[in-house]
């Protein structure tokens, strides 16, 4: 009778001990400690990200500063290059003198200037011009003195109130020719060829100027030439003829003036009326 009771007590003890062992373990941290640990971890992450962002910002600022320095150096180089190109454009062409030879050899190499029927000096198929020549302008049917400048690439003409416009679907320009220091000026309309950028010796910035095509006559030679439009009212001559006009057609003798005959005004061709420089017609 005692054995069954003993067996039952032993079985009950085993069941109770098994239930006790299955109870979940007690956590090692309290909720307060866990929140504190999470807050510390979050603070460390935020601090690490802030440090990383600061490093990236410092690196970006350094790269930006280096880029600005490179761009500044590039602009300085571009400015120097433009200055050199401008000096080269203004540099007159120098022809080396031939080596000393006999008079017969010199005569063979450099033929003597020939006289045409009108008494104008020519060298081969090129006309001879002095440092100043008379130039006829078809648009106003008038004649003005022009300065010959082999140091300038393009020709220019004195112009006020420059206004681009469109005519028959093409680009034109209207301006007033101001030929001298008087109050008279003459309105001209001409095809607008293009724009050019020119650096003045007294200025650092480039000056954007329109280029117009005008029919002109120098001596007996009539050409459609390109002129940059600019205010030359303070200059001694209203027109300047540069290398592009003279190339392949003329030889310059700077010791002379008005070598070519003065062109005549075309009879029967209308001349525009004068307009005041200070007040338009």
**Mean pLDDT, range 99-115, rounded to an integer:** 47
Number of domains into which the chain is organized: 2
Say if 12 falls within a structural domain: no
Say if 8 falls within a structural domain: no
Same-domain check for residues 178 and 237:
yes
Same-domain check for residues 63 and 157:
no
Say if 270 falls within a structural domain: yes
**Mean pLDDT, range 202-230, rounded to an integer:** 89
Same-domain check for residues 77 and 201:
no
Domain residues for the domain of 83 are: 56-89
Measure the CA–CA gap between 22 and 202, rounded to whole angstroms.
98
Distances (CA, A) of 270 to 90, 140, 149: 37, 8, 31
Same-domain check for residues 62 and 134:
no
Which residue is listed with tokens 């280096």? 66
> In this model, does residue 234 exceed pLDDT 60?
yes
> In this model, does residue 56 exceed pLDDT 70?
yes
Say if 1 falls within a structural domain: no
Same-domain check for residues 253 and 175:
yes
Specify the CATH number for the domain of residue 188: 2.40.70.10
Record the tokens describing residue 207, joined without a space.
């000056």
Same-domain check for residues 77 and 200:
no
Q: Residue 195: pLDDT band by 50, 70, 90 thresholds? A: very high
Q: Between these two residues, 19 and 60, which has the higher pLDDT value? A: 60
**Mean pLDDT, range 245-269, rounded to an integer:** 92
Same-domain check for residues 200 and 65:
no
Same-domain check for residues 164 and 76:
no
Same-domain check for residues 187 and 79:
no
**Mean pLDDT, range 122-129, rounded to an integer:** 87
């Amino acid at each position: 009778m005692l054995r069954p009771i003993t067996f039952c007590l032993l079985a009950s003890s085993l069941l109770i001990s098994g239930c006790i062992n299955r109870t979940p373990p007690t956590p090692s941290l309290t909720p307060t400690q866990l929140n504190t640990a999470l807050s510390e971890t979050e603070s460390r992450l935020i601090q690490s990200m802030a440090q990383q962002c600061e490093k990236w910002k410092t690196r970006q600022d350094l790269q930006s500063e280096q880029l600005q320095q490179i761009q500044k150096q590039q602009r300085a180089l571009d400015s120097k290059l433009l200055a050199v190109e401008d000096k080269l454009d203004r540099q007159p062409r120098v022809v080396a003198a031939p080596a000393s030879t006999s008079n017969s050899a010199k005569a063979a190499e450099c033929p003597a200037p020939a006289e045409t029927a009108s008494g104008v000096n020519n060298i081969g198929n090129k006309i001879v011009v002095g440092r100043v020549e008379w130039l006829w302008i078809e648009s106003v049917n008038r004649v003005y003195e022009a300065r010959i400048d082999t140091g300038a690439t393009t020709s220019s003409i004195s112009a006020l109130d420059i206004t681009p416009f469109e005519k028959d679907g093409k680009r034109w320009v209207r301006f007033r020719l101001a030929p001298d220091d008087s109050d008279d000026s003459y309105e001209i309309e001409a095809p607008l060829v293009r724009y050019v950028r020119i650096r003045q010796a007294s200025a650092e910035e480039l000056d954007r100027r329109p280029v117009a095509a005008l029919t002109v006559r120098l001596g007996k030679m009539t050409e459609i030439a390109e002129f940059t439009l600019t205010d030359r009212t303070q200059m001694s001559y209203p027109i300047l003829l540069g290398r592009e006009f003279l190339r392949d057609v003329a030889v310059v003798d700077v010791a002379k003036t008005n070598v070519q005959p003065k062109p005549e005004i075309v009879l029967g061709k209308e001349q525009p009326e004068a307009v005041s420089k200070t007040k338009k017609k």
